[in-house]
A and B are shown apart, each in its own frame.
Chain A
């Protein structure tokens, strides 16, 4: 009966097995791909087919071709991809409360911060997989449009792809981390998902559309909120203007810093809450 050592690497391995084999995550990924392809490619393409050349969305065929694929894909991250990322974060952390499996895991002896750190690491990997898959799907769709419309397949530079992917990844990870904090704060799944979606899909829009035009302080407040900064960042990285949630309110460097600050803030808040509260 020798004392066992636990560390972050073995806990990440445990977490990877758990999350990799969870069907709900793959369903979320499929929904994200479906929504991205539908709203970024299928609907604009159908519109393109039904209207005179160049009229669709004021963007024309060029918006569906490979040079624009990065912007098309990450345009969803401030809104619906972000919503799916919140659900992903809530499921990763909150299901442990629903299944009461925290006690089973923690009774094995790892420290709370090690377990949560492993969860966050896997969360970051998960959002990387999400962004990578969306970019691959977007690239394939744009190539298909190019072939169908007999257009040249000019791809963006590697640096442009990496920059766009990095921005989208940062935003998606920030939303997923919000999901983790909500799950830990409310110790479950249903309420955190509900609150996360209400904030992301309703409150942010109401603030932007209803409150900000009327109240200067709300307009100023928006500049520090995660959603508008996410919208600003993807706008700077090529997301099509006019897409819901995409609006260049702040400069890209500021938007990046604000989103990174939220990401770190959510992670620290989640760790602080998880460390100090009882596992009932």
Chain B
């Protein structure tokens, strides 16, 4: 079966600046795939290339096995970099216009307005909508073709917590209906909440693809003085490749039965063990490790 999204060595350069480099991305049918990276990492550029808005410098793109061309986006709905509509038209008229562009029937407009819970305000001018309503209208536009693949670029950007929760619940509901969702975000918690699998992009390169479930084996967090000596000891015990350091803590990829032995070893070596516990799934730490700490202040 063909993947909803498959890119090979996808690259976009602007002069000497490489926005996206050699991206091999595969999104599987039915999953919610989180495309995670700090602002400016190349997420939006990638999504725009998928939709044919930007021409790749090199590499290939296939959506449901099809290369860009006629009917390439027939099974795809998208919301890219925030909603953009005609401010003098009502929400309903905006969707009617887009339905005509999409070749979708006008009856679909009422359906998608119901899905995003915007039917009551559909007659109001778009220019009068709150940001949350605009985002929901954007989502409604993405659903006009009843797409099998939804591409959503930071769909909760700029929303208040209630609005974020609302949009996330809607996305999860849409995914549960059997759609594949490719969701870009710089919000780690959001990706962790909604997604099944995560691709991490940094400086235009995909640095990791992993399942959110895998993160539960993130391991043990150790704070001890002095930290370098503690790192040396535990590296000798479990292997240096399973020990990473971030901030003032060590993170050990190990099993629960090792906890007492590690504690005893550190205490025996005369090190002050301040903290030693199994940590919760931590996308942030993984992300920062994989990107070399290049996340910006929005990555939280």
Contacts and interface: CB of A to CB of B under 8 A. Distances in A.
Given A1-B146, A4-B104, A10-B100, A17 B81 contact: no
Given A22-B88, A279-B48, A105 B101 contact: yes
A276 B72 CA distance: 17
B146 A6 contact: no
Interface string B82-116: 11111111000100111011111000000000000
B96 A104 contact: no
**Chain A contact residues (Cβ within 8 angstroms of B): what range?**
20 to 34
Interface stretch (A107-115, A162-170, A207-215): A107-115
Interface string B116-160: 000000000000000000000010011011111000000000000
A100 B144 contact: no
B54 interface: yes
A278 B57 CA distance: 11
Contacts of A22: 86, 88
A276 B55 CA distance: 8
Given A1-B75, A279-B54, A109 B87 contact: no
Contacts of B270: none
A103 B81 contact: yes
B155 to A, nearest CB: 13
Contacts of B84: 99-101, 103-104
A106 B52 contact: yes
Given A4-B74, A22-B88, A14 B145 contact: no
A1 B108 CA distance: 12
Nearest to A101: B84
Contacts of A21: 88-89, 93
A152 interface: no
Interface string A215-243: 00000000000000000000000000000
Given A107-B78, A107-B80, A5 B54 contact: no
Contacts of A53: none
Interface string B66-82: 00001111111111111
B148 to A, nearest CB: 5
A148 interface: no
A59 interface: no
B53 A278 contact: yes
Nearest to B79: A107
A108 B88 contact: no
Given A99-B85, A107-B80, A108-B73, A278 B54 contact: yes
B252 to A, nearest CB: 45
A225 B102 CA distance: 40
Given A103-B80, A107-B73, A6 B89 contact: no
Chief secondary structure at chain A's binding surface: loop
Interface in B246-295: none
Contacts of B77: 107
Given A1-B146, A1-B147, A103-B81, A108 B102 contact: yes
Nearest to B144: A108
B88 A109 contact: no
A65 B181 CA distance: 68
Contact of A110 (B51, B89, B102): B102
Nearest to B97: A14
Determine which residue in A107, A109, A276, A278 has the highest number of CB atoms from chain B within 10 A of its CB, and name it.
Answer: A107
A280 interface: yes
Nearest to A276: B55
A11 B100 contact: yes
A109 B75 CA distance: 9
B154 to A, nearest CB: 14
A108 B89 contact: no
A101 B75 CA distance: 20
Given A21-B88, A111-B70, A278-B54, A104 B102 contact: no
A274 to B, nearest CB: 12
Nearest to B96: A17
Interface string A226-262: 0000000000000000000000000000000000000
B48 A110 contact: no
Given A104-B84, A105-B101, A108-B102, A18 B73 contact: no
Nearest to B53: A279
A22 B89 CA distance: 8
Given A107-B79, A108-B98, A111-B70, 4 more contacts: A23-B88, A108-B102, A279-B48, A280-B48
Interface of A: 1, 3-7, 10-11, 13-14, 17-18, 21-23, 99-111, 115, 276, 278-280
Interface of B: 48, 51-55, 70-89, 93, 96-98, 100-104, 138, 141-142, 144-148
Q: Please give me the 3 A-B residue pairs with the lowest Cβ-Cβ distance, nearest first.
A: A14-B100, A108-B102, A109-B73
